[in-house]
Amino acid sequence: MHAMHALFRDPRVRPRARRLRGLALAGTACALLSCGVAPHGAQQGAAAERDAGRAKALNILFVGLDSRAGLTPETRDRLHVNGKACDCTDVMMLMHVSADRRRVSFVSLPRDSYVRFAPHKDGDKPLTSHQGKINAAHQHGGPALTVRTVEQATGLRVDHYAETDFADFVKTVDTLGGARICTRKALWDENAGLDITEGKHDLAGREALRYARARHVTPPGDLGRVRRQQQLVAGILQRLTGGEAAGDPVALLRTARAFRETVRTDDGLTARKLVRLAGELRGLSPARTEFATVPIDGFDHRVPTWGSTLTWDEPRARAMFRALREDRPLRNEPRLRPPHGVRPVAMEPNLIPVRVEGTDEASLRVRNALRRNGFDVLDGTGGGVGPAAAKDAKGTTITYAPGYDREAEVLATALPRAKALPEVGHARTLTVRPGTARTRLARIVHDRSSVEGAPATAEALACDPTGGHGPR
């Protein structure tokens, strides 16, 4: 029997209330990485960790429950979490630590992923194995079924499990010294209580929670939120690598103990083992820490009872999990990248109406290229050059109505050197005005997963140390 599965049925498992929340994921993952993670085989001792003198790779599953049990109305208001709970896992993230301890990979599993649950008892019904949203596995069978369902869906063995809640997320981030994030635009989400300006921010625990929970900002939905959570983890790592815990054994132990107090784990994930692996992971650079989201090919797969779900891109998902099983870095996997020379975009080009100004050969060339890329290129040449275009007669400009930033970004991907300018009063149709210089063109493909979830290093996701604004 899987030793960890037995732990979840053992009444001696550490008795923390099951009022746990997945959006604490960023803090718990960072805490575990910063302190090290317990080696596989917690019930067998250190000997089980070695195979002919070589450490084995580890997989740790972080989850959090959409549960507000135990939170007072005042705390809910303070944390901005006054919503309906479902006692399901709101976020899941697998952390893979390579056998040589020189690389760590985080893979997010979107909560609405439509998968087959591992066989389980459903009340008085006989053993069953039905499909559903992966976040509901906890409702049907607690942590044990959650772990087995993830193992079945990914083909990976889960060595350890950890979960936490809203309040403990805040404590964990504060204990770790906060998180540094960067944004190229102001972000506001009333539902999450998020309101931050463009630029660099050092977030305390409560602000980090709001950043991790936001869904109604660009890019919207779960994939955008997952990427922001990954940026949050990268930001905490950036702070930790230069902080006191980086080389101070006493600080490491203190952080490990604080982590154990704010995160519910299996019994094998002891503070001692956390600290021990910290030595093995010492010197791990942001360039060797990578983040990805399981590839999605269906963003609104409708299922009776379950509603709107996400379906995985099975060929690419298999390639991702095969790489982890074989202990290889995700960012080197060709199956996880678009074809060479093709740029991914997050919206279907045929949903974006475009008009190209001019009747000369250069304008015709741009018009035909955009049609080949699938844009809805309207007939006609438009109404002449407006004030925004006059700012740059040499280069190509894209003008658009405020609020259509995502559409403009897709169009700008197909026209790499074009300058995108919002223009008050502009029609919904985007306007392209080729300049006197030759317009550069690029091939694009609608691949939202690659835009918002492709493998990226912590170095790429964290704030630019030189003062740049980092990722969007």
Strand locations in 364-410 (E): 376-377, 397-400
In a shared domain, residues 316 and 396? no
Examine residue 298 and state whether it is found in any structural domain, yes or no.
yes
Strand partners, 194: 189
In a domain, 62, yes or no: yes
Is the same domain home to 149 and 272?
yes
Instruction: State the burial class of residue 407 (Cβ atoms within 10 Å of its Cβ: 0-12, 13-18, 19+).
Output: buried
Does one domain contain both 279 and 362? no
Alpha-helical segments (H) within 36-104: 73-79
Yes or no: say if 362 and 434 are a contact pair by the CB < 8 Å rule. Answer: yes
Q: What is the pLDDT of residue 240?
A: 64
Does residue 372 lie within any of the structural domains?
yes
Q: How do 419-422 and 397-400 pair as beta strands?
A: parallel
How far is residue 365's CA from residue 379's CA, in Å, rounded to a whole number? 14
- Residue 353 resides in a domain: yes
Q: Token pair 């000369």 is at which residue?
A: 360
Cα torsion angle, 270, 274, 275, 276, sign: positive
Is there a domain that residue 49 lies in?
Answer: yes
Q: Are residues 287 and 362 in the same domain?
A: no
In a domain, 329, yes or no: yes
Q: What is the pTM of this model?
A: 0.82
Domain assignment present for residue 472? The answer is: no
Whether residues 301 and 429 fall in one domain: no
Question: What number of other Cβ atoms are within 10 A of residue 247's Cβ?
Answer: 11
Q: Is the dihedral of CA 31, 33, 39, 45 positive or negative?
A: negative
pLDDT one digit per residue (tens) for the chain, 472 residues: 455 655 454 332 343 333 233 334 444 555 444 443 333 333 333 334 444 346 789 999 988 777 666 777 787 777 767 666 677 887 789 999 999 999 999 999 999 999 999 999 877 777 888 999 999 999 889 899 999 999 999 999 999 998 877 777 788 888 777 888 888 888 998 888 899 999 999 999 889 888 888 888 877 778 888 898 888 888 877 666 555 555 566 666 666 666 667 778 888 877 777 777 677 777 788 889 999 999 999 999 999 999 999 999 999 999 999 999 999 999 999 999 888 889 999 999 999 999 999 999 999 999 999 999 999 999 866 544 444 444 446 899 999 999 999 999 999 999 999 999 999 999 999 999 999 899 999 999 999 999 999 999 998 887 754 444 445 4
Confidence (pLDDT) at 408: 97
Asked if residue 148 belongs to a domain, the reply is yes
- Cβ pair 127, 325 in contact under 8 A: no
- Pair of tokens at residue 403: 């609020």
**CATH number of the domain within which 223 lies:** 3.40.630.190
pLDDT at 46: 38
Q: Are residues 156 and 276 in the same domain?
A: yes
Residue 179 CA to residue 197 CA, distance in Å, equals 16
Q: Do 58 and 119 sit in the same domain of this protein?
A: yes
Alpha helices (H) along 50-124: 73-79
Q: Which domain holds residue 363?
A: 345-446
State whether 322 and 353 are in the same domain: no
- Answer yes or no: do 257 and 350 share one domain: no
Task: Note whether 96 and 162 are same-domain residues.
Answer: yes
Q: Number of structural domains, the chain?
A: 2
**Which CATH number do you get for residue 376?**
3.30.70
Q: Are residues 276 and 395 in the same domain?
A: no
Rg of the chain's alpha carbons, rounded to an integer?
24
Do 145 and 249 belong together in one domain?
A: yes
Q: Kindly give, in sequence order, each residue whose CB lies less than 8 Å from that of residue 51, ignoring residues fewer than 6 positions away.
A: none
- Which distant-in-sequence residues (6+ apart) come within 8 Å of 355 by Cβ? 377, 378, 380, 381, 382, 429, 430, 431, 432
